[in-house]
Amino acid sequence: MRAAGRILAAVGIFAALRSVALPAAPRWRLCVFHWLTGSPCPLCGLTRGLFELAKGHWRAALHFNLLSPVAFAMVFGLLWAGPARSRLWTAGLAAFAAYGVCRVFLPSV
């Protein structure tokens, strides 16, 4: 993908995230892990967090999921070319794995 295409894709993703308002408390939880255990998984709240970050609501995004900024960077990192993208994704996935362990064993996280 050329640079102009990447920029256009990033603007489109950002505009979509910014224009949609999601409810703070979903009517139905779609997380099977949460259904089975009653604990949030590492990804619970991430969608709402991404939408809040696009609007500039950092506190709300961190409330939904502490790793929302990492996921935001990972999503836009898909548009980068080169080794920086793979390093970002490797570090991001490691962070989500560690966060998941903390969320399961320390439910207050």
What's the pLDDT at 34? 79
Mapped onto helix, strand or coil, the DSSP state of residue 22 is: coil
pTM over 0.85? The answer is: no
| Whole-number Å distance between alpha carbons of 5 and 79 | 9
Q: Where are the domains of the chain?
A: 3-23+39-105
Residue 73 main-chain phi, psi, to 5 deg: -65, -40
Q: Which two tokens stand for residue 38?
A: 């009653």
Over residues 88-109, the pLDDT tens digits come to 999 999 999 998 888 878 766 5
| Whole-number Å distance between alpha carbons of 109 and 99 | 9
What's the pLDDT at 66? 92
Are the beta carbons of 43 and 74 closer than 8 angstroms? no
Over residues 50-81, the pLDDT tens digits come to 999 999 999 999 999 999 999 999 988 888 87
